[in-house]
Amino acid sequence: MKYVYLSSQYPLTDEIEINDVGVILIEQLDQQGRSEVNFLRIGKTFWLENNYFSYFAIEETGDRFEFKICDRCFKLLPTDAEFSDNRHKKDNIITKRPSCKSCRKKKDGVQVSRADREEWEAKRPQKYTSFICPICEKSSIVGISKIVLDHDHSNGKVRGWLCESCNTGIGRFDDDPEIVYKAVEWLMRER
Domain boundaries, the chain: 3-56, 58-108, 114-188
Residue 132 confidence (pLDDT): 97
pLDDT class of 159 with cuts at 50, 70, 90: very high
Judge whether residue 190 has pLDDT over 80: no
Alpha-helical runs (H) found in the chain:
79-82, 101-108, 114-122, 164-172, 177-188
Please compute the mean of the pLDDT values over residues 23-48 and round it to a whole number.
Answer: 90
Please compute the mean of the pLDDT values over residues 42-65 and round it to a whole number.
Answer: 95
Judge whether residue 178 has pLDDT over 90: yes
Residue 88 confidence (pLDDT): 78
* 104 phi, psi to nearest 5 deg: -65, -40
Residue 25 contacts residue 45 (beta carbons within 8 Å): yes
3-56: which CATH architecture?
A: Roll (2.30)
Of the candidates 120, 140, 144, the residue with the CA atom closest to the CA atom of residue 131: 140
Residue 30 confidence (pLDDT): 67
The rounded percent of the chain whose pLDDT value lies above 70 is 99
Please compute the mean of the pLDDT values over residues 74-88 and round it to a whole number.
Answer: 94
CATH topology of domain 114-188: His-Me finger endonuclease fold (3.40.1800)
* Fold: same for 3-56 and 58-108: no
Range of lowest pLDDT (56-70, 71-85, 88-102, 133-147): 88-102
Residue 94 confidence (pLDDT): 84
pLDDT digits (tens, 9 = 90+) for 105-155: 998 899 999 999 999 999 999 999 999 999 999 999 999 999 999 999 999
Judge whether residue 72 has pLDDT over 70: yes
| pTM recorded for the entire structure | 0.79
Judge whether residue 67 has pLDDT over 90: yes
Of the candidates 41, 44, 76, the residue with the CA atom closest to the CA atom of residue 58: 76
Average pLDDT, the chain: 94
Q: What is the CATH number of domain 58-108?
A: 3.30.60.130
The rounded percent of the chain whose pLDDT value lies above 90 is 86
Judge whether residue 181 has pLDDT over 80: yes
